[in-house]
């Protein structure tokens, strides 16, 4: 009998109420007693390392019976305890329900009583759950990464991994983390937003959407920039959806998040080093290799290292229509960072030559931001027009101008369309019509 069957049978025998879950903690009056029983049972689970025991069913049953003996608990309170133990045995401890909740996009554990979640674009503290101690957090991390062959301990106190469902996990424990174990999980979205979702949410206007679609169809090279959690990958997925179905698309990512529906898509993913410190495959390795795979389009999930130079080379040598993202707070910051990344790659190229490379390679830079109210908006779309002296010149095409914040905390403002961009002529040369009408 496996642990799941055991818990099911034991719950039925004990008048278990499956409608009571771990989020019902606040409804109980006996909170101190429930916390005591929970801590006692879970600490025993940690100390006895139940994962390596053959008689896990007997062990858990004995622990629950011994712990509840002598206490007058009603059905709801007993069910609460059973649910906690089931989550420890078959799930991932206190964060089991958070992982199941599709409305939660990120889970951040800063300590046993410090659990934060991202919900509707806002980070809030979840006071309904907690761990009992640091060992409990480490045990949960180990349960999460064990199925994918990873481990974490004092000799290897940091792990960055993709879980089986596509979620991204990062964990740091002492001695690297001075305040104790820290766990961050960016949950995988099985269905990324499409352009209609963006329009409904007010992230952009219909004219902006039509312009971006025309840019992709005209095979312009586009950079999407923004801060962490701003929606760069989601927007990249939206832009990629505009690519024609008959093109060969190669996507390159650290963690495969893009969900393209074209027929001819090749998805490549990086690989971290193994236990011997060997076998690493970087974004740069994959970008270089992709050039040998006869791509029509190259889509890089994020440029943040030496691969920046290889990406620019690809854009300058016939691989037009490439797309990528970068961490930057504005279009001008993105180009400055791109220049810095090329210099960091160790290429002995004059700065002015790098800037010419960028001007010849990049056509459009799109900035997407998460505003203070948690909503995401495309705050700027710029074209690269050439040089202003020695500096790269940008021409803003669309922008979002914030005017204030309402009493409800929502950001107020409006989108603005600027003068007709120079890139319109290049778009029309590809046979795409009616773009000028967006600016009249």
* Structure confidence by residue, pLDDT tens digits, 287-325: 999 999 999 999 999 998 889 988 888 888 778 999 999
C-alpha torsion angle, residues 97, 46, 135, 154 (rounded to 10): -120
Q: What percent of the chain is modeled with pLDDT above 70?
A: 82
What's the average model confidence in pLDDT over 133-146? Answer: 89
Mean pLDDT of the chain: 84
Nearest-angstrom CA–CA distance, 16 and 8: 9
First and final CA of the chain: distance in angstroms?
72
Domain match, 166 and 177 both: yes
Domain match, 136 and 209 both: no
| Total domains present in the chain | 3
* Structure confidence by residue, pLDDT tens digits, 386-436: 999 999 999 999 999 999 988 888 899 999 999 999 999 999 999 998 899
- The CATH number of whichever domain residue 117 belongs to comes to 3.30.450.370
Domain match, 301 and 325 both: yes
Q: Confidence class of residue 122 from pLDDT cuts 50, 70 and 90? A: confident
Q: Select from 44, 68, 90 the last residue of a domain.
A: 90
Show the domain range for 132. Answer: 92-188
The strands making up 168-172's β-sheet, listed across from edge to edge, are: 122-125, 114-119, 104-111, 182-186, 168-172, 158-162
Domain match, 7 and 112 both: no
* Structure confidence by residue, pLDDT tens digits, 155-202: 889 998 888 887 889 999 999 999 999 999 988 776 667 899 999 989
Give the pLDDT of residue 408.
Answer: 85
Cα–Cα nearest to 285, from 300, 264, 275: 300
Domain match, 11 and 53 both: yes
Domain match, 168 and 204 both: no
pTM attached to this predicted model? 0.77
- The CATH number of whichever domain residue 396 belongs to comes to 3.40.50.300
């Amino acid at each position: 009998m496996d642990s799941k069957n055991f818990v099911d049978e034991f719950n039925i025998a004990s008048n278990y109420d499956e409608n009571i879950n771990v989020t019902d903690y606040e409804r109980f009056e006996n909170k101190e007693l429930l916390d005591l029983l929970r801590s006692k049972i879970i600490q025993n689970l940690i100390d006895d390392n139940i994962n390596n025991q053959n008689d896990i069913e007997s062990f858990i049953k004995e622990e629950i019976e011994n712990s509840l003996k002598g206490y007058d608990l009603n059905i709801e309170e007993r069910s609460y305890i059973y649910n906690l133990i089931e989550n420890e045995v078959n799930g991932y401890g206190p964060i089991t329900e958070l992982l199941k909740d599709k409305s939660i996009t990120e889970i951040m554990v800063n300590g046993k009583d410090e659990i934060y979640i991202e919900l509707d674009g806002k980070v809030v503290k979840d006071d309904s759950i907690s761990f009992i101690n640091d060992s409990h957090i480490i045990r949960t991390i180990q349960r999460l990464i064990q199925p994918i062959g990873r481990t974490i301990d004092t000799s290897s106190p940091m792990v960055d991994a993709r879980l089986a469902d596509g979620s991204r996990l990062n964990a740091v424990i002492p001695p690297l983390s001075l305040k104790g174990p820290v766990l961050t999980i960016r949950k995988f979205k099985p269905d990324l937003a499409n352009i209609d979702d963006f329009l409904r949410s007010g992230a952009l206007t219909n004219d902006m959407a039509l312009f971006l679609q025309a840019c992709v169809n005209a095979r312009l090279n586009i950079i999407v920039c923004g801060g962490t959690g701003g929606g760069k990958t989601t927007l990249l997925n939206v832009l990629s959806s505009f690519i024609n179905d008959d093109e060969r698309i190669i996507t390159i990512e650290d963690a495969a998040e893009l969900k393209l529906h074209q027929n001819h898509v090749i998805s490549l993913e990086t690989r971290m080093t193994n236990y011997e410190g060997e076998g690493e495959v970087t974004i740069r390795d994959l970008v270089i290799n992709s050039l040998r795979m006869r791509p029509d389009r190259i889509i890089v999930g994020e440029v943040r290292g030496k691969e920046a130079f290889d990406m620019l080379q690809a854009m300058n040598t016939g691989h037009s229509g490439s797309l990528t993202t970068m961490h930057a707070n504005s279009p001008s910051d993105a180009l400055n960072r791109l220049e810095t990344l090329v210099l960091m790659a160790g290429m002995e190229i004059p700065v002015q030559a790098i800037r010419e490379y960028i001007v010849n390679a990049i056509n459009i830079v799109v900035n997407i931001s998460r505003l203070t109210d948690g909503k995401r908006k495309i705050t700027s779309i710029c074209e690269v027009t050439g040089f202003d002296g020695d500096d790269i010149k940008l021409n803003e095409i669309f922008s979002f101008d914030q005017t204030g914040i309402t009493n409800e905390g929502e950001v107020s403002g409006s989108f603005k369309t600027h003068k007709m961009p120079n890139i319109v002529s290049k778009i029309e040369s590809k046979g795409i019509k009616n773009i000028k009408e967006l600016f009249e």
